[in-house]
Structures are given as structure tokens and as C-alpha cells.
């Protein structure tokens, strides 16, 4: 019996037909991880760019408005209309708009408040339409589900209790006079 095991082990040791499998097993997970993380990062970048574009176009409409004060829902709909790659944009987007004075500069604050699936009926945050020639800050926070939530890149991003990740964009503008 021992002689058969030695003979089989000797034949297995001389055979090199499976040597590329070992190399594949070592290298393939690294390339797969790089590919998956590059796809995830590409989608994060695409969502962020589309949110920035939607916010810029909505701010342009508000800034060059026809004299009517824009509503929260109108701005939100305009942003989501231009942010075409985000699923359920109107449910996952939260806006904050506040006027500020150049002589007494006040920003929106440090903590960004976004939507949360676990909380029902969140009220609208500070949303004050500005007057003519007034400096305004508009902050948009968009939550989304990562493509690969269990992979390293998605796990390193700050997520809420339901696993959604936030993208934040800000814009400052001056209301044009009529």
C-alpha cells in the first residue's frame, strides 16, 4: 500500500500540467477585485457627475428665474430630471437652501442630513427662497445603493443602516434682479 502511494506521489510530482492553475488561483482574485472596484468607482463617479450637472442646471433655472420663487419640489424635480442614472431620485434626494449675507457669512453647517429609508415622513430641511441680489447656498444629498455592497470599496464608504451611501453636492448663486 505504501509503495502505491509513493509511486503515485512520484508521478504527481513529475507532472507539470497543472502548474498554471496555481498561478491562476493566486493572480485571478487580484485582477477580479481590481475590475469590480473600478466598475464600482466608475458608477460612483457617474452618479456624482450627473448630480452635479442636475444641480447646476436647476440652479441656473432658479438664478435666471422669471420672478417666481421656486418651490422645493420644483427644484427637486428639475435636478432629478437631469440626473438620469440614479434610480428613485425623488425619494433619495434631499435639498437644503438658505440665504446668507456677504457681510455676515454663514454656511450650511457641517453635518449633511440625507434621506433614510428607515425613517418615515422626514420634513423638508431649511429651504428658504431668496430675494433679488441675495447670495444663496443649495446643498443636495443623494443616497444610492452600491453595485457591489459586500466588496471592499463599498464597505469603506460611510453608509446608513439600510446600506445606502451618500453623495453630496453644493452650489452657491446670487438671485438675479427682475
pLDDT, tens only, 14-34: 666 666 777 888 899 999 999
- All three cell numbers of 56, joined, read 447646476
> What's the structural domain count of the chain?
1
Which residue range is the domain that position 118 belongs to?
20-174
Residue 162, pLDDT score:
81
**Rounded CA separation 115/94 (Å):** 6
Nearest CA among 149, 155, 146, 159 for reference residue 86: 146
Q: Does residue 14 lie in a domain region?
A: no
Tell if the pTM clears 0.85, that is, is over it. no
Q: Does residue 11 lie in a domain region?
A: no
Q: For the segment 78-91, what is each residue's pLDDT rounded down to a tens digit? A: 999 998 888 888 88
For cell 507532472, the residue is: 15
Q: For the segment 40-50, what is each residue's pLDDT rounded down to a tens digit? A: 999 999 999 99
Q: Does residue 127 lie in a domain region?
A: yes
How are strands ordered across the β-sheet holding 165-174? Answer: 93-100, 135-144, 165-174
Q: Does residue 1 lie in a domain region?
A: no
More confident residue, 13 or 86: 86
Amino acid at each position: 500500500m505504501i509503495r502505491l502511494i509513493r509511486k503515485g506521489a512520484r508521478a504527481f510530482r513529475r507532472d507539470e500540467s497543472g502548474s498554471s492553475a496555481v498561478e491562476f488561483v493566486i493572480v485571478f482574485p487580484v485582477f477580479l477585485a481590481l475590475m469590480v472596484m473600478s466598475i464600482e468607482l466608475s458608477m460612483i463617479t457617474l452618479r456624482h457627475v450627473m448630480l452635479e450637472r442636475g444641480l447646476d442646471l436647476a440652479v441656473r433655472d432658479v438664478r435666471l428665474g422669471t420672478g417666481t420663487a421656486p418651490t422645493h419640489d420644483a427644484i427637486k424635480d428639475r435636478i432629478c430630471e437631469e440626473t438620469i442614472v440614479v434610480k428613485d431620485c425623488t425619494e433619495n434626494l434631499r435639498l437644503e437652501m438658505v440665504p446668507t449675507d456677504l457681510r455676515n457669512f454663514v454656511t450650511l453647517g457641517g453635518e449633511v442630513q440625507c434621506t433614510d429609508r428607515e425613517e418615515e415622513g422626514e420634513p423638508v430641511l431649511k429651504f428658504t427662497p431668496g430675494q433679488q441680489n441675495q447670495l444663496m447656498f443649495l446643498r443636495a444629498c443623494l443616497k444610492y445603493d452600491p453595485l457591489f455592497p459586500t466588496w471592499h470599496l463599498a464597505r469603506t464608504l460611510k453608509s446608513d443602516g439600510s446600506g445606502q451611501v451618500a453623495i453630496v453636492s453644493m452650489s452657491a448663486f446670487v438671485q438675479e434682479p427682475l
